[in-house]
């Protein structure tokens, strides 16, 4: 043991040991980049796995909340895609406005656009054949041929516009759900940001908490979280959130996020002001609906309440009059 300690204390041994360590560290430093491979590819793969995990978790949570299967992206059905491709419906029926409306309604991917184009072709033909068969074979309602032809044209036009009407109704309901939950989401986002979370973690946390109140908003925030992870420009993710919702309040918040990202402005103050404005706007809309309620109730009261009131008041008097006679 004593001889070993003397050997370790020799300067030549210490120098040789340090030289061995230096040589090993040099070899490891030079060989490590060759061994570890493409770090960028691994990072992109990890982001993709995380994005799919988020989507799977949100689909499962939304399925439990709604009691039905929710699919964010589907493959087009074969027969629909064949008809759309054969007649080239995307060239003369597909528009950028229709694609934007599909996105705002929550329908994404090629399945949504193919289905929309398919029904824009099929429904007018179906309404045309059904109305012509009914008016010329089943019942003509005693109308001349020109009137029946006009009715058929009207039915065909309704069939042409029915996909757009359906899309508009779905978009309106979805925007209403997002608008109602947006002020609470801004409060949660403000708390997360002031607690020191990054904007990605804040969006993820808010999407988890707001899902019970608005499934549509939770879905949009989850997609924004995924886009913030893999898009080259974070501004594009914020712009996509504003375009997918189509709401001025969401657009104002995304503009504040873009300015904070670019110029380094404090985000907490902007979110606090925008949250208060969203709440004031929601209260103003509620007061507007409450103020418009009395005129809407006037006609039902005249038609239904006043006759019953007159019957209740006049019946005892009439009974007494007839009893005296």
Please identify, among 176, 198, 220, the residue that sits at the C-terminal boundary of a domain: 176
Range of the domain at 227: 181-291
Q: Does 9 map to a domain?
A: no
pTM of the model: 0.65
At 244, is the secondary structure helix, strand, or coil?
helix
Residues 160 and 200 grouped into a single domain: no
271 class by beta-carbon count within 10 Å (0-12 exposed, 13-18 middle, 19+ buried): buried
**pLDDT single digits (tens) 185-240:** 999 998 998 888 888 889 989 988 888 888 889 889 988 988 888 888 888 999 99
Residues 88 and 190 grouped into a single domain: no
- Please answer whether residues 103 and 97 qualify as being in contact, where contact means their C-beta atoms are separated by less than 8 angstroms: no
Residues 83 and 136 grouped into a single domain: yes
**pLDDT single digits (tens) 280-317:** 888 888 888 888 888 888 888 888 888 888 888 888 88
For the four alpha carbons of 131, 136, 139 and 140, in that order, the dihedral sign comes to positive
Q: Does 8 map to a domain?
A: no
Tokens of 228: 């913030």
Q: Does 50 map to a domain?
A: no
**pLDDT single digits (tens) 80-120:** 777 777 767 766 665 667 788 888 888 887 788 888 888 88
Q: Does 191 map to a domain?
A: yes
Our CA dihedral for 242, 248, 254, 258, rounded to 10 degrees, sits at 110
Angle, nearest 10°, between helix axes 78-87 and 109-133? 80
Residues 84 and 105 grouped into a single domain: yes
Which of 43-47, 146-150, 154-158 bottoms out in mean pLDDT, i.e. has the lowest? Answer: 43-47
Residue 59's alpha-carbon distances to 27, 73, 112, 173, 252, in angstroms, are 48, 11, 18, 20, 28
Residue 75's alpha-carbon distances to 45, 72, 100, 110, in angstroms, are 22, 10, 19, 7
Residues 185 and 270 grouped into a single domain: yes
Q: Does 95 map to a domain?
A: yes
Tokens of 127: 């309404």
Query: How many domains, the chain?
Result: 2
């Amino acid at each position: 043991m004593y001889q070993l300690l003397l050997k370790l204390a020799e300067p030549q041994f210490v120098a040789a040991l340090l030289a061995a360590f230096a040589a090993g560290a040099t070899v490891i430093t030079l060989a490590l980049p060759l061994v570890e491979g493409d770090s960028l590819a691994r990072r992109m793969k990890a982001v993709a796995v995380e994005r799919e995990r988020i989507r799977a978790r949100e689909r499962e949570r939304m399925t439990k909340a709604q009691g039905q299967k929710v699919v964010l992206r589907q493959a087009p059905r074969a027969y629909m895609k064949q008809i759309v491709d054969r007649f080239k419906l995307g060239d003369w029926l597909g528009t950028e406005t229709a694609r934007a409306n599909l996105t705002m309604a929550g329908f994404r991917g090629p399945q949504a656009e193919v289905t929309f184009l398919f029904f824009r072709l099929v429904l007018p033909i179906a309404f045309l054949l059904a109305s012509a068969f009914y008016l010329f074979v089943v019942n003509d309602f005693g109308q001349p041929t020109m009137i029946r032809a006009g009715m058929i044209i009207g039915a065909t036009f309704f069939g042409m516009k029915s996909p757009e009407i359906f899309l508009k109704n779905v978009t309106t309901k979805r925007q209403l759900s997002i608008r109602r939950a947006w002020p609470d989401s801004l409060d949660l986002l403000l708390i997360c940001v002031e607690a020191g979370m990054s904007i990605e973690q804040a969006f993820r946390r808010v999407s988890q908490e707001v899902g019970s109140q608005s499934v549509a908003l939770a879905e949009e925030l989850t997609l924004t979280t995924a886009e913030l992870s893999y898009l080259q420009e974070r501004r594009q993710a914020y712009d996509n959130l504003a375009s997918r919702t189509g709401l001025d309040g969401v657009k104002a918040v995304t503009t504040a996020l873009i300015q904070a990202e670019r110029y380094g402005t404090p985000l907490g103050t902007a979110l606090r002001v925008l949250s208060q404005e969203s709440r004031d706007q929601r209260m103003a809309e509620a007061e507007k609906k409450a103020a418009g309620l009395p005129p809407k109730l006037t006609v039902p009261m005249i038609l239904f309440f006043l006759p019953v009131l007159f019957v209740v008041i006049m019946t005892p008097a009439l009974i007494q009059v007839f009893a005296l006679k």
